[in-house]
Amino acid sequence: MNPINSLQQSNSSMLLSVEELLRKNLVIPNYQRPYKWTERNITDLLLDIQKSIEDHKRYPGSFNYRVGTIILHKDKDQYEIVDGQQRVLSFVLLKLCLNSEFSCSLLNQNFTNKDTQKNLYENYKTIREWLLSLSDQIKSEINQALAGILEVVVITVSEISEAFQLFDSQNSRGKALYPHDLLKAYHLREIHDKYDMQNAVVKWESKRPKKIRELFDLYLFPIWNWSKRRKSGDFSATNIDIYKGIGRDSTYTYARRANNAMPYFLITEPFIAGVDFFAMVEHYMQMLQNIKEEIDSNKDFGQIKKILEDKSFAAGMTYARNLFYCALFCYYDRFHNFDIMAVKKLFVWAMMVRVDMQSLGFDTINRYAIGLGDNDKYSNALPVISMITTARKHTDISSMRLNIWAKENNKKWSGLAEMLKNI
């Protein structure tokens, strides 16, 4: 049986009008993200409502409009909104603009987040201005639509873990979420303490989503693959099992070892699911920032900084630059030092693929990073990322022997090769 169907059968699933939903004793739990809908989202919602009213007039008695699925967690006499917060709060604003005396439990919610406060205020103004342009008749029709035409599928569960499981499954189909969003939902349901859950969400939401995506897309996922001498690719929902971690109660030997690892994470090693996932993300985001600041500020790496910032080396340098930071990230993660010779060797290795190739794309980086042995193409066909993960001492990396020369057929990059010799 489909797990979603079984969950729905074990709890409750019903079709409610928007107004019926708002009559429930709804609350926004502390672990929820801020209210992020903007004027564009509100405009789309209002246009959808208009269309639903028009369609209802065209097909009277046979047309209702579904506005999504809401997942609630019943906690005593309250219903925590697990999924659907953005839409529900927007409907509250609409009802309030239609009727200043409208009352519901969410109007008593204390919203402390600054982004939430700002977006609620701005969206309220947007709705109010839109309604000012409408006749009393159309406003009445909107009210009627909220009471009857506009429907939501409401799934109510008694266990918070089931709520997150539903959230994960609902959002892994249809409109795709970013893989890290699915990981967030997965690991939240692995946290059984409400305060730990709240802290995890606060830490997560304090970070820019783009930075989290870049951490996984550009660094963690490629390093994980290259360390195993596998080609990397786009980090997608099909790859999230890598980062689901190990259950805290697991009795496997490797799991018990991982249980005592935090905060000493390793990119290539497993971690415990739940709280440790959020700690790991925070740990590596800070580490990446520290690494880039070290390259930028340490005088010993001045030549490296100069090359990285040289606009005459722009073509294909994005790939080579990222390869360098992946190698340095992996190295620092294992040895926790900025040994000058080791850092310079990693830089030379990464930059030499730029010198070797007339054109440089990600496929080339893939082959180079895992050391496929294309000795006819590359001056240094070494699986350096893998070598780092198996090195016993950091000197195993600082003592690498590297070749630096520009091929006869690729004199364009001879200047870069000369600069690398002087590092």
Sequence length of the chain is 423
Q: Which uninterrupted H or E stretch holds 405? A: none
Amino acid at 162: E
Question: Which whole number is the average pLDDT over 360-380?
Answer: 86
pLDDT at residue number 218: 96
Residue 7 reports pLDDT greater than 60: no
Residue 196 reports pLDDT greater than 50: yes
- Whether the full predicted model's pTM is greater than 0.75, yes or no, is no
- Let me know how many helices (H) and strands (E) the chain has, helices first: 20, 5
Render pLDDT for 112-128 as a digit per residue (tens, 0 to 9): 889 999 999 999 999 99
pLDDT at residue number 9: 44
Residue 281 reports pLDDT greater than 90: yes
Tell me 150's DSSP state. E
Assign 170 a pLDDT band (cuts: 50, 70, 90).
low
Going by C-beta distance under 8 Å and a sequence separation of 6 or more, which residues neighbour residue 64? 56, 148, 149, 150, 151
Q: Give the end-to-end CA distance of the chain in Å, rounded to a whole number.
A: 62
For residue 121, what are its two tokens?
């205020």
Question: Cα separation of 72 and 93, whole Å?
Answer: 20
| CB neighbour class for 143 (10 Å; exposed up to 12, middle 13-18, buried from 19) | middle
Render pLDDT for 212-267 as a digit per residue (tens, 0 to 9): 999 999 999 999 999 999 999 999 888 988 999 988 888 888 888 887 766 789 99
Residue 3 reports pLDDT greater than 50: no
Note the helical H segments in 312-413.
Answer: 317-335, 340-356, 362-369, 384-390, 395-398
For residue 292, what are its two tokens?
């880039």
Residue 4 reports pLDDT greater than 60: no
For residue 399, what are its two tokens?
């003592």
Q: Which uninterrupted H or E stretch holds 16? A: strand 12-17
Query: Please, what is the average pLDDT of the chain?
Result: 86
Most confident range, picked from 81-85, 173-177, 315-319: 81-85
CA 37 to each of CA 27, 67, 96, 120: distance values in angstroms, whole numbers, following the listed order: 18, 15, 17, 8
Residue 398 reports pLDDT greater than 90: yes
Degrees, nearest 5: CA angle 216-261-192 = 80
Q: What is the DSSP string of 262-303?
A: TT---TTS--BSSHHHHHHHHHHHHHHHHHHHHHHH-GGGHH
Q: Which uninterrupted H or E stretch holds 17? A: strand 12-17
Share of the chain above pLDDT 70, in %: 89
Question: Which whole number is the average pLDDT over 336-361?
Answer: 94
The residue behind tokens 């580490």 is 287
Selection from 206, 416, 414, 174 nearest residue 311 by Cα: 416
Render pLDDT for 18-64 as a digit per residue (tens, 0 to 9): 999 999 999 998 777 889 999 989 998 898 888 888 878 876 665 67
Question: Which whole number is the average pLDDT over 350-379?
Answer: 87
Handedness of CA 91, 183, 222, 261 (dihedral sign): positive
Assign 15 a pLDDT band (cuts: 50, 70, 90).
confident
Most confident range, picked from 76-90, 332-346, 361-375: 332-346
Going by C-beta distance under 8 Å and a sequence separation of 6 or more, which residues neighbour residue 338? 294, 298, 332
pLDDT at residue number 10: 46
The residue behind tokens 């939902």 is 185
Assign 74 a pLDDT band (cuts: 50, 70, 90).
confident
Main-chain dihedrals φ then ψ at residue 246, nearest 5 degrees: -120, 140
CB atoms within 10 A of CB 250: 16
Q: Are 346 and 331 in contact (CB under 8 A)?
A: yes
Question: Domain residues of the chain, as ranges?
Answer: 3-175, 298-421
Handedness of CA 14, 19, 20, 21 (dihedral sign): positive
Question: Cα separation of 120 and 111, whole Å?
Answer: 10
Question: Which whole number is the average pLDDT over 119-138?
Answer: 94
Question: Cα separation of 61 and 200, whole Å?
Answer: 47
Main-chain dihedrals φ then ψ at residue 73, nearest 5 degrees: -110, 115
Most confident range, picked from 152-161, 183-192, 235-244, 343-352: 343-352
Question: Cα separation of 398 and 79, whole Å?
Answer: 58
Share of the chain above pLDDT 90, in %: 51
User: What are the DSSP E strand ranges found in 63-198?
Assistant: 65-75, 78-83, 150-157
Most confident range, picked from 80-84, 185-189, 396-400: 396-400
Helix (H, G, I), strand (E, B) or coil at 235: coil
Assign 6 a pLDDT band (cuts: 50, 70, 90).
very low
Question: Cα separation of 307 and 303, whole Å?
Answer: 6
